[in-house]
Amino acid sequence: MTTDTMTHPAYPVLRFGNLEVRLATTLAEVDAAQALRYKVFYEEMGAQPTDEMLARKRDFDRYDEHCQHLLIIDHKLENSPIVGTYRMIRRCAAEKCGGFYSSTEYDISAIVEYPGELLELGRSCIAADYRTGAVMQILWRGIAAFIVAYDVKLLFGCASFQGTDVEKLTLPLSYLYHHHLAPPALRARALPGRYVDMCRLPREAFDPNTAFDKLKFDPRGGSQSLPPLIKGYIRVGCAVGDGAVIDEQFNTTDIFIVVKTDLIADRYTKHYDLERKTPTAE
């Protein structure tokens, strides 16, 4: 992303009533996405900004200029504000900025060796008034369209629990470890020195038929919480890496998620005229 405007001929614009899902096409739109990220991560969730971030009221890092930014835009409101965003880092973008963001927390060598196009998701955020199941479904349709447009084979990234007190996350971390651990060929592992054991309770502590529904999200946090984003990943068939990681800057406990894309593409594009295309160098 080195110019003032970007084009994405392989990616469609999707419209759901007043909400539009597409990739950012200008630096101004990327700036607006970074402003939304700052509001959510730093002003609402207690992340610790650098001095430059604080002065600019923006969340940014070295990855932003090389990746693509998925946006949700509300055309019903004045100036059509950006109300949701996801950061998309493909293999070609990671090569330009020295690797994927996840590699700062996990050994992802097994992921990088996977054949075909890779997509790392990150910096997911939605404005407070739009945090509904319907808007999350729209975001997932946008991700599915990206998967189809760029023939993505493997989707991965870090997902977060708010807060850094691992003891409060004993139940969800143990559940994820026992029932959703990735197979060895796709299993990232938290880096030495950052590794937090997710296996905090025995497997017998959970009834696999009811545990997922019992781990209901509590917006106040707590040991019974599975955030909606992580539940969404599980519903599309994700698996998790070995070990959690504490991110002090973002005030989160991170896990690694990975999923082969076939189920996502089939689930979210069957109602649209979208077909897998040959990978593009765009």
Grade residue 228 by pLDDT with cuts at 50, 70 and 90: confident
Contact 155, 111 (CB under 8 A): no
* 280 occurs within a structural domain: no
pLDDT digits (tens, 9 = 90+) for 46-88: 999 999 999 999 999 999 999 999 999 999 988 889 999 999 9
pLDDT at site 271: 47
Residue 176 identity: L
Give backbone dihedrals phi and psi of 218, rounded to 5 degrees, phi first.
-115, 115
Is 70 exceeded by the pLDDT of residue 282? Answer: no
Residue for token digits 């992340």? 47
Instruction: Quote the CA–CA distance of 76 and 80 in Å, as a whole number.
Output: 7
* 7 occurs within a structural domain: no
Total of domains in the chain:
1
Grade residue 236 by pLDDT with cuts at 50, 70 and 90: confident
* 275 occurs within a structural domain: no
Instruction: Quote the CA–CA distance of 1 and 23 in Å, as a whole number.
Output: 12
Is 90 exceeded by the pLDDT of residue 6? Answer: no
Residue 26 identity: T
* 203 occurs within a structural domain: yes
Instruction: Quote the CA–CA distance of 217 and 223 in Å, as a whole number.
Output: 10
* 90 occurs within a structural domain: yes
Grade residue 91 by pLDDT with cuts at 50, 70 and 90: very high
pTM (predicted TM-score): 0.87
* 121 occurs within a structural domain: yes
Grade residue 224 by pLDDT with cuts at 50, 70 and 90: low
CATH number reported for the structural domain that contains residue 226 in this entry: 3.40.630.30
Range of the domain at 90: 14-264
Is 80 exceeded by the pLDDT of residue 150? Answer: yes
